[in-house]
Amino acid sequence: MIALAPYGPYWRQVRKFATIELLSNHRLELLKPVRESEVKASLQQLYQLWNKKKSSNCGKVMVEMKRWFRDVTLNVVLRIVVGKRIPNSYEGDETVKWKKSLDDLFELSGKFLISDALPYLRWLDIGGDEKSMKKVAKELDQVVEEWLREHKEKRAENEANSGEDFMGVMLSILRDAEEHDADTINKAGLTLAVEDTTSITMTWALSLLLNNRDALKKVKQELDIHVGKDRLLVTESDTKNLVYLQSVIKETLRLYPAAPLAVIHEAIEDCSVHGYDISTGTWLILNLQKIQRDPQIWEDPLKFQPERFMTTHKDIDVKGHDFELIPFSSGRRMCPGVSFALKILELTLANLLHWFEIETLSNEIVDMRDGPGVTSPKATPLEVQISPRLPTFVYQSRN
């Protein structure tokens, strides 16, 4: 996994593939139609669900949004990475197993192990977590291995179509790789691509909006101005004008960074930083959430206030340039998928809030407790009621 790999030739090569070949601005632009079509397909499924159940629920249908956000994000990632998507039934054995393994990976990665504090106890594997980690790693490796096999067979049959998704691109680039095994690098890049925390951020964003109805109203007003109720789809070009929604996303990332602790850094040699002597092997763990809720930097730090990014903090971004807001970390170890994540966040949230009226049952307050793991998922399901927001004829159009 690139995030945990030590600095060296392997890390540099995988990072290069990720930033230049897979997640460059040029490739992200080429993949814009895929993102837009997958978001549209997921919303159409949601509308069909409402249309099917509306009569028995007074025109409103209950939906669990944590799962929906996860599935739409996973569909975008799968289409881009390997040209696959989740079946409409969401019951494909391969997909379900893969999703479960990925959930287990995130949970295990964030667990505190006694052996982390007392390394000499590692051989005991207290709690069996190391055994579970090996099992999950094997399951994910088998899934990616099967995808690799399918792509290699397609390449042998039709060379011209080999570069249509990330896996095809990497197979083309790594055909003559010598320094590191091509399949190993390919799997590392693909694991990077699916290590997605975007759905977690979308869940928190919607939860915050539901608990702050004035902000939700402002998002809808902005959509009406820049998109209008006579058009169904919000495009990525439209999202550039949705300044308030962008501020909502920034404020969500500030309050609830998907990974509240940055990836562990380890000193590879003795050094001194601002008078502090640091020995080889020392771990440095950055508490992003603490920094982003620091009252010395942020006024009313626990208050959801998107307007701050349109006034006092309007020049701050989330791409590692401003250390008071680094939800994707910063420097060489910064998440290389930040631009990709922001595009999915903006596109999905904009379309969801444009298509549907969303509310909690009896206007209840959303439970904002977070769960365990290396990421910070919402601890409880996000169950909401949805109903169409646009005129019926708009949903029947092709735009």
**Quick one: which H or E segment has residue 284?**
strand 283-284
**Token pair of 291 as six digits:** 């920094």
- Count of alpha carbons within 13 angstroms of residue 273, beta-carbon side: 8
* Separation in Å, CA 215 to CA 165, 234, 253, 289: 37, 19, 16, 22
Beta bridge partners of 308: none
Q: Up-side HSE of residue 26: CA atoms within 13 Å toward CB?
A: 4
Tokens of 161: 């179509």
Best CA proximity match to 328, nearest among 231, 260, 267, 270: 260
81 Cβ neighbours under 8 A, 6+ residues apart = 165, 166, 167, 190, 193, 194
- Distant-in-sequence, close-in-space partners of 384: CB < 8 Å, separation ≥ 6: 62, 63, 65, 206, 210, 358, 359, 360, 361
Taking the C-alpha atoms of residue 373 and residue 375, their distance in angstroms, rounded to an integer, is: 5
Amino acid (1-letter code) at residue 182? A
Is 335 one of the annotated binding-site residues?
A: yes
Helix residue ranges per DSSP H, the chain: 9-16, 25-30, 32-53, 65-82, 93-109, 114-117, 129-157, 166-173, 182-194, 198-211, 213-226, 236-239, 243-255, 288-292, 338-355, 392-395
Cβ atoms < 10 Å from Cβ of 362: 6
Q: Using the 8-state DSSP alphabet, how is residue 174 labeled?
A: T
CA dihedral 269, 273, 278, 281 (to 10 degrees): -50
For 245, the token pair is 């929604």
> Rounded to an integer, what distance in angstroms lies between the CA atom of residue 167 and that of residue 147?
8
49: helix, strand or coil: helix
Distance CA 302, CA 255 (A): 7
Determine how many CB atoms are found less than 10 A away from the CB of residue 237: 9
Annotated binding site for heme: 335
Q: Return binding residues.
A: 335
